Chain A
């Protein structure tokens, strides 16, 4: 999410001061995305330059300067809300790489590698879940942000579980492994496609 569009979203409710925008931004992103004041004013200046917001005309650059969204800003916000983020090429995932590499390093125990990552992920999930345990449910944004993080981490644990099961099956049936001396492993799909690697 861009700060730019977050500011437009907050201003779509009505005119606001710079400091107010920063406070509301933090409140609504569930405190997981703190901003500094400089970022807020720099963003507002760019939005004003692009004609997406207007200020009240005072020369004061401080927290008492009021901003309001323009019709062009409203349109840009509507476009942004419906525009899917680019998820077409897989992100370069360090964890996936480490597990793949562990398969071919003779001294590496792939199970131990998988477990080290699994434990770390579950420990992180325990921390997020503690926020949930203390949550009264009154802060919807916070609950949604915590859920999103838990689902993301959970999907990685599930991949590790599936990877471990696949490694076990491959070990039980060595003939099923495609690796042989004259058969190099197929390039990874996103490499083969030559698509830009996204992080």
Chain B
């Protein structure tokens, strides 16, 4: 089943001679449990694609389906519920609230959604544990390293029953080792926890964690990788001298 579908999505800003086409007729299907990376230079429309996929912005034309549900036909309330319960967002600059501990940051979306503080806290701690941050639950963001902060942000994006992770340059502010670790976590979230992830990045090493890499240029999908053969094809080739 596809978790996310974009059908002929276009997005333009402004009018007449100043009109900018951020996306042109983009179609993309992401199956449940898949990790897809969107690669492209700055200004190619990557972030617009993600905000439209996350229902944070409406397309100028075309349709977005989340878990089979066409977003344009649902009420504002249902759309808001999708954003609170189904979709998790991860941003480059983490966006953690400085006055809340790691556990409070992670459980906040559930509390806002009406869950009791106690249940939200239990779910928050579980999400932190899953990302190896159980021991950091009581720490404030400024007591955490950059890599740990992003792991808290991922835990917040996964907390509860969220199934679709949308990440915009999630490793952008991290060093190479932490950036790899974040992608490894997103990869495992898909393979082990059954999440679906769309990750926007301009970095090929990070994109290569995905099952499929979609290339965006001037607002259009220009290409995508074929499902890669297993890694064993790289090993035991011709003996070298």
Contact = CB atoms under 8 A, between A and B. Distances in A.
Contact of A131 (B215, B225, B231): B231
Interface residues of B, number: 34
A33 B208 contact: no
Interface in A37-94: 39
Nearest to A118: B215
Given A127-B228, A128-B231, A35 B239 contact: yes
Interface residues of A, number: 35
A111 B41 CA distance: 13
Interface string A128-145: 111111100000000000
Contacts of B229: 127
Nearest to A153: B204
A115 B231 contact: no
A31 B235 CA distance: 7
Contacts of A158: 204
Contacts of B215: 115, 118-119
B187 interface: yes
B234 interface: yes
Interface string B199-234: 000111101111001010100001111101111011
Contact of A128 (B208, B239, B241): B208
B205 A33 contact: no
Interface in A146-164: 150-151, 153-154, 157-158, 161, 164
B39 interface: yes
A19 interface: no
A196 interface: no
A127 B233 contact: yes
Interface of B: 39, 41, 180, 184, 187, 191, 202-205, 207-210, 213, 215, 217, 222-226, 228-231, 233-237, 239-241
6 interchain residue pairs of minimum CB distance = A125-B208, A157-B204, A129-B208, A131-B231, A126-B228, A130-B231
Given A119-B215, A125-B205, A132-B180, 18 more contacts: A34-B237, A35-B239, A115-B215, A122-B225, A123-B226, A124-B234, A125-B204, A126-B225, A127-B234, A128-B231, A128-B234, A129-B209, A130-B230, A131-B231, A133-B187, A154-B203, A154-B205, A157-B204
Interface of A: 3, 31-36, 39, 111, 115, 118-119, 121-134, 150-151, 153-154, 157-158, 161, 164-165
